[in-house]
């Protein structure tokens, strides 16, 4: 895939299921200073991306599953692969579960969610078994719907009140750190660069620009959504609105459109499917490396049904909360491990051997 397709792939993966509830969760963690935590988290992620790019730059023709054994040995390298496969699979289950819950709550309250789960399974098998270039093309093509999503959010700006964000800095460092942790978790998706980096045709150009731009655009969209919700809901009100984005749009009525929230959610579902496809592809890629000679197509046919079976637990809020806590704990290991691998590669001088 091209550098521009890499930009679209990472952007679509990052902007997914967490967008609707993120302002509510960020306010609960950091109060009215949540937007400051978001700013700091964006800077931390950009630094992480630079480390990822430097690591993958030492092995331009290998992905994480292929160069980890070169750095750690076969056994520890395979353990790293298993760790990331579990992370990708758990995140896929998490996205699917939240999608089903939100569809039932906002769009199809009386529909059979089994049908939604089966529909997701068919779509995932259809897309995730394809070559990464085809998936990236689709992600790039739907990147333009972000303009429609943002346009809908800007319709009701006449009701905003800046006083809802005052006073600034009152929450303290502990609340800011809690908001940073939550923001990094919500920005998940950029770690898939470790899996697809070897498939990018750089033509001698750096991958820094497309990666930082993709994360920067995702960060900007999250910041706009947070500011709109923080300025529209009072601090007391937003604490009681678990999905403030569709709730905000539901309160806007135009002469020719009654339910802006349904239009927004219809567009949002396309993006959620793209994010879910990315994680399922990464899961199949890891399983394919371990068991199918690095061919992910065979793995997709049984990985997708296993992930979709997680929909059996969609009615269990305690199950979703437990899965959320589990992903939050392991994601920091997953995000920090490439930095350790980069330091190890520098210390040992390991890099991919170039053909003579």
Q: E strands, 226-330, where?
A: none
Whether the pLDDT of residue 118 is over 60: the answer is yes
Is the Cβ–Cβ distance between 47 and 251 less than 8 Å? no
Q: At what angle do helices 113-128 and 260-291 cross, to 10 degrees?
A: 50
CATH superfamily of 3-347: Amino acid/polyamine transporter I (1.20.1740.10)
Whether the pLDDT of residue 48 is over 50: the answer is yes
The pLDDT-based confidence of 355 (bands split at 50, 70, 90) is very low
- Quote the CA–CA distance of 67 and 200 in Å, as a whole number: 16
Average the pLDDT over 50-71 and give the result: 91
- Quote the CA–CA distance of 288 and 179 in Å, as a whole number: 36
Is the Cβ–Cβ distance between 274 and 121 less than 8 Å? no
pTM for this one? 0.92
Whether the pLDDT of residue 348 is over 50: the answer is yes
Is the Cβ–Cβ distance between 282 and 300 less than 8 Å? no
> CA 193, 211, 42, 152 torsion: positive or negative?
negative
Return the percentage of the chain with pLDDT > 90, whole number: 30
Residue corresponding to tokens 């609960």: 28
Residue corresponding to tokens 């496809």: 277
Residue 141 to residues 1, 123, 213, 222, 288, Cα–Cα distance (Å): 13, 17, 17, 20, 27
């Amino acid at each position: 895939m091209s550098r521009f397709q890499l930009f679209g792939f990472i952007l679509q993966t990052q902007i997914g299921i967490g967008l609707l509830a993120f302002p509510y969760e960020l306010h609960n963690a950091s109060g009215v200073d949540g937007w400051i935590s978001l700013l700091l988290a964006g800077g931390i992620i950009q630094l992480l991306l630079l480390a990822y790019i430097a690591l993958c730059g030492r092995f331009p023709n290998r992905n994480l599953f292929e160069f980890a054994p070169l750095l750690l040995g076969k056994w520890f390298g395979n353990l790293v692969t298993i760790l990331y496969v579990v992370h990708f699979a758990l995140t896929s289950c998490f996205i699917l579960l939240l999608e089903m819950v939100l569809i039932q709550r906002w769009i199809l309250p009386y529909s059979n969610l089994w049908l939604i789960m089966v529909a997701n399974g068919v779509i995932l098998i259809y897309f995730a078994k394809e070559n990464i270039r085809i998936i990236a093309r689709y992600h790039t093509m739907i990147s333009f719907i972000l303009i429609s999503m943002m346009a809908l959010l800007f319709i009701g700006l006449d009701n905003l009140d800046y006083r809802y964000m005052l006073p600034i800095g009152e929450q303290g460092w502990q609340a800011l750190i809690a908001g940073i942790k939550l923001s990094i978790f919500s920005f998940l998706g950029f770690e898939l660069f470790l899996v697809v980096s070897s498939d990018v045709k750089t033509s001698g150009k750096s991958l820094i620009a497309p990666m930082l731009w993709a994360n920067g655009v995702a960060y900007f969209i999250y910041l706009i959504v947070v500011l709109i919700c923080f300025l529209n809901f009072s601090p007391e009100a937003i604490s009681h609105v678990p999905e403030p984005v569709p709730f905000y749009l539901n309160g806007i009525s135009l002469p020719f459109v009654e339910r802006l929230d349904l239009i927004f959610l219809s567009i949002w579902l396309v993006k959620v499917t793209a994010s879910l496809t990315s994680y399922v592809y990464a899961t199949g890629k890891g399983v394919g490396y371990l068991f199918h000679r690095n061919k992910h197509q065979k793995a997709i046919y049984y990985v997708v049904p296993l992930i979709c079976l997680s929909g059996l637990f969609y009615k269990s809020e305690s199950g979703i909360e437990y899965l959320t806590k589990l992903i939050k704990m392991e994601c920091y290991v997953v995000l920090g491990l490439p930095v350790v691998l980069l330091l190890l590669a520098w210390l040992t001088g390991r890099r991919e051997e170039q053909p003579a």
